[in-house]
């Protein structure tokens, strides 16, 4: 009886540990995806600040995001390598963010030739916001 109870206890402990590892891994993926989204929002904030004010110092978050985004996306890919469905979602997210970043880059470049037109576009929200392309990371993982 004691052997059976010990075996069941050991099995339950292993299952709890496995479940805890899965939860921890999911949390790591969520954090990685949130960091990707945060970086993209920072780029958008910098771009908007620059275009509205014309002050080059506002481009600092935009430039930082350009440099950090590939690393953060690579981390999210690495964390989801064992789950094809999540990996596909990260790739879609990466494509959406790349599209958004191209739009931001285009608007910044356009502001150098026609600053007022770029400013009007930003002020009237002609361009979509980063959050239009980003969903809740936890919700994405639960699909």
How does pLDDT run along the chain (143 residues), one tens digit per residue? 777 777 778 777 888 877 777 778 788 888 888 888 888 889 999 998 998 888 999 999 999 999 999 999 999 999 989 888 888 888 888 888 889 888 888 888 888 888 888 888 777 765 455 445 455 555 655 55
**Which residue do the tokens 């995806």 mark?**
33
The DSSP 8-state label assigned to residue 58 in this structure reads G
Residue 127: the pLDDT is 47
Residue 121: the pLDDT is 77
Please name which of 93, 118, 92, 114 lies closest in space to residue 103, comparing C-alpha atoms: 118
Number of residues assigned to the chain: 143
Instruction: Give dist(CA 26, CA 56) in Å, integer.
Output: 39
Residue 130: the pLDDT is 43
Residue 13: the pLDDT is 83
Residue 75: the pLDDT is 92
Cα 83–chain centre separation: 18
Please name which of 39, 31, 40, 44 lies closest in space to residue 76, comparing C-alpha atoms: 31
Which are the contacts of 27, defined by CB distance < 8 A and separation ≥ 6?
none
């Amino acid at each position: 009886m004691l052997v059976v109870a010990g075996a069941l206890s050991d099995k339950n402990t292993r299952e709890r540990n496995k479940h805890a590892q899965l939860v921890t891994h999911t949390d790591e993926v969520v954090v990685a995806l949130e960091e990707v989204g945060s970086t993209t929002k920072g780029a958008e904030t910098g771009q908007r600040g620059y275009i509205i004010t014309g002050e080059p110092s506002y481009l600092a978050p935009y430039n930082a995001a350009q440099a950090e985004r590939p690393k953060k996306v690579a981390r999210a890919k690495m964390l989801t390598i064992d789950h094809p469905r999540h990996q596909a979602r990260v790739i879609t997210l990466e494509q959406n963010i790349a599209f958004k970043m191209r739009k931001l880059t285009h608007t910044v470049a356009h502001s150098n030739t026609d600053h007022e037109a770029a400013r009007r576009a930003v002020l009237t929200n002609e361009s979509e916001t980063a959050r239009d392309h980003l969903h809740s990371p936890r919700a994405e993982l639960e699909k």
